[in-house]
Each structure stands twice: as structure tokens, then as C-alpha cells.
């Protein structure tokens, strides 16, 4: 949507320059990935692994980790997207890394700590049965700049709570038909919270879905694509917050998906079968039957009817 406003050779070359600012990594596990083309993304369906880190998270104490794990499935006709979140504590089999780490059952975010993006790709592919085509790593702290670049977002706060991080903002549940306007710092704080809620990370996932949808809505409604100042700020903020594999062009991807709005995105959470304690750790067990059906449906560009009827899975 943002790139739709870049007309003429000068605008295109400028955007190409921004595209080059995005950090890139080599992911060996994507050796058979679909290559981006000059005209856009490759034909047919595409699966992109989104890994969210939070380099400025007040709770972050040590080690490399990715607490936000999503699979974006782009439909074969490039008109719809299923964005499926996998809770970070989901108990899965992690293949052995090149350094001998893994080769055991563990929380899914352990894969990144043990073997980076390569091992995470292998782990998610084994868990979902999908072939991943690209990896995009997002510093969620960078969302502050992205949200400010579009002038803030409007969120329907679903419950009253107080942030556990300074300056200890209070979020008040919105009445029907109302929303709360948030700048980047406030929205990031809203998306970080989990310890106050009985279902912890599941509420945080729901709030992350809200923010992604709100950013899409705001970029469309405010004419960001036609205002050079807003466009420049938005693209530069995005470039600083994103790392991609060396076969993906964010510019081509955005151009190919420029007609997709938030109403064309289905936000889904992998179905769970409880939160037991295993080896002294509180983990999330995947509902094997429902999860298998979900990922098979996603691969065919659909979502199971039982999921669509249950707001705890689909938002």
C-alpha cells in the first residue's frame, strides 16, 4: 500500500535505495526458497516466517530469543493472507543444529537461541508441515517508530490493566464503539504486557494482532502513500526495524501485496491443548488434531470453519 504512491522512475529508484538499507542474513535452510522477481514476489502461494524480537524489552535479561513467532501465508492469487501465531512456549521437537544443539523436545523459541534463523526454519517446517519460502525478522521495539510515522493508531482496549513497566501506564477497557489513540511508545507498551493476564502470552498475541491490523488501517486511511514526508518516515522506520533473508525484496513484496487491506488478513493462533509443566517448565501443548487441520487448511488458502467460529483462535 505504501509503495503504491511511488510514481515515476525517480520515486522507484528512491524506494530501491530504501530497500537496500534493510539488513539481510543468509538462511541455508531456505536453499530452495522461491526467489523474488523484479516484477514482484514469485507466482503461487508463499510462506514467510516472521520472527519478532524486542531488543529494548524491559524484561529482557540475557541471551538471543524470539518471543513472537508467526507464519504469514500469502494465498496463491496474492489477494489474502493468513497470519498464524505460534505461542513462544509451544512444546515441539527441535532438530539438531549444526553445532550439536537441539535434537530434543523443547519450547519452540529455544530453536532460535540454539541455531538462529536456520534452526528456527527447520523447527517450524517440521511442526507445521509447510515449506517456508522466506524469513523476516522484526525488532518489535522498532514498531514505535513505525507507529509514530503513521501518526499513531486507534486500538479498542479489551480489558483494564496497568503496565508493569515504567511509566506504568493504565489502559482502560473501551466502551462499545470507542477506541484509544496510542502513539508508538504507548502501543509498544500495550503489546508487551502479559504477566497481568491469566492466559499470559495468549493475550499478548491478541494485542499484537490488534496493533498490526491498526497500522494497516491507519496507513490506508491517512494517505501515507501520498505524503512524501510521511512516506519517507514510514519507509525509513521500517528499514531500521526489519531484517530479511538474502532472497527477499521487501520492496517487491510490498508492491505485489499493495491491494491487501486488514480485512483481507485472517489473524489466527495455533490451537492449544493445555499448559502443563514438563521438565520443570511451564509449556504450551499444541492440540495435535486441530493444529494439523489448521496447517493443512492454511496450505490450501483456507481456515477451518471451527477456527473461524472461535475468537480465541481467529481475530
pLDDT tens for 244-273 read 888 887 777 777 777 788 888 889 999 988
Domain 2-308 has CATH 3.40.630.190: yes
Show the beta-strand stretches assigned E in the chain.
Answer: 23-25, 46-53, 68-74, 81-85, 91-94, 104-107, 134-139, 153-155, 161-162, 170-171, 180-182, 242-245, 265-269, 277-278, 281-282
pLDDT tens for 156-170 read 999 999 999 889 999
> What are the residue ranges spanned by the domains of the chain?
2-308
Average pLDDT over residues 212-216: 88
Q: Specify burial of residue 229 (Cβ count, 10 A radius: 0-12, 13-18, 19+).
A: exposed
Cell of 9: 522512475
C-alpha span between 261 and 81 (Å, rounded):
10
Q: Indicate if the pLDDT at residue 4 is higher than 60.
A: no
Cell of 114: 540454539
Report percent pLDDT > 70 for the chain: 79
Q: Specify burial of residue 89 (Cβ count, 10 A radius: 0-12, 13-18, 19+).
A: buried
Name the phi and psi angles at 32, rounded to 5. Answer: -105, 20
Find residue 170's DSSP bridge partners: 162
Q: Which residues contact 210 (CB under 8 A, 6 or more apart)?
A: 155, 156, 315
Amino acid at each position: 500500500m505504501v509503495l503504491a504512491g511511488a510514481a515515476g522512475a525517480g520515486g522507484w529508484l528512491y524506494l530501491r535505495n530504501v530497500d537496500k538499507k534493510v539488513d539481510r542474513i543468509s538462511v541455508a535452510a531456505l536453499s530452495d526458497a522461491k526467489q523474488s522477481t523484479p516484477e514482484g514476489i514469485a507466482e503461487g502461494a508463499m510462506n514467510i516466517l516472521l520472527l519478532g524480537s524486542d531488543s529494548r524489552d524491559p524484561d529482557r535479561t540475557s541471551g538471543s530469543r524470539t518471543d513472537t513467532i508467526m507464519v504469514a501465508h500469502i494465498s496463491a492469487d496474492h489477494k489474502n493472507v493468513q497470519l498464524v501465531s505460534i505461542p513462544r512456549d509451544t512444546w515441539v521437537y527441535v532438530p539438531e543444529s549444526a553445532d550439536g544443539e537441539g535434537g530434543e523436545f523443547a519450547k519452540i523459541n529455544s530453536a532460535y537461541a540454539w541455531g538462529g534463523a536456520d534452526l528456527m526454519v527447520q523447527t517450524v517446517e517440521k511442526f507445521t508441515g509447510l515449506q517456508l519460502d522466506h524469513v523476516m525478522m522484526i525488532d518489535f521495539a522498532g514498531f514505535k517508530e513505525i507507529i509514530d510515522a503513521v501518526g499513531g493508531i486507534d486500538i479498542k482496549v479489551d480489558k483494564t490493566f496497568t503496565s508493569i513497566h515504567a511509566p506504568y501506564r493504565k489502559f482502560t477497557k473501551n466502551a462499545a464503539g470507542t477506541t484509544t489513540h496510542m502513539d508508538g511508545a504507548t502501543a509498544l507498551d500495550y503489546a508487551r504486557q502479559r504477566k497481568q493476564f491469566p492466559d499470559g502470552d495468549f493475550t499478548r498475541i491478541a494485542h499484537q494482532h490488534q496493533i498490526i491490523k491498526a497500522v494497516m488501517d491507519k496507513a490506508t486511511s491517512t494517505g501515507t502513500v501520498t505524503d512524501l514526508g510521511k512516506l519517507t518516515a514510514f519507509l525509513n522506520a521500517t528499514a531500521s526495524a526489519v531484517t530479511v533473508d538474502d532472497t527477499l525484496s521487501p520492496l517487491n513484496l510490498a508492491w505485489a501485496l499493495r491491494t491487501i487491506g486488514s480485512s483481507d488478513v485472517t489473524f489466527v493462533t495455533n490451537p492449544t491443548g493445555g499448559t502443563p509443566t514438563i521438565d520443570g517448565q511451564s509449556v504450551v501443548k499444541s492440540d495435535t488434531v486441530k493444529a494439523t487441520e489448521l496447517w493443512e487448511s492454511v496450505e490450501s488458502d483456507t481456515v477451518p470453519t471451527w477456527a473461524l467460529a472461535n475468537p480465541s483462535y481467529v481475530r
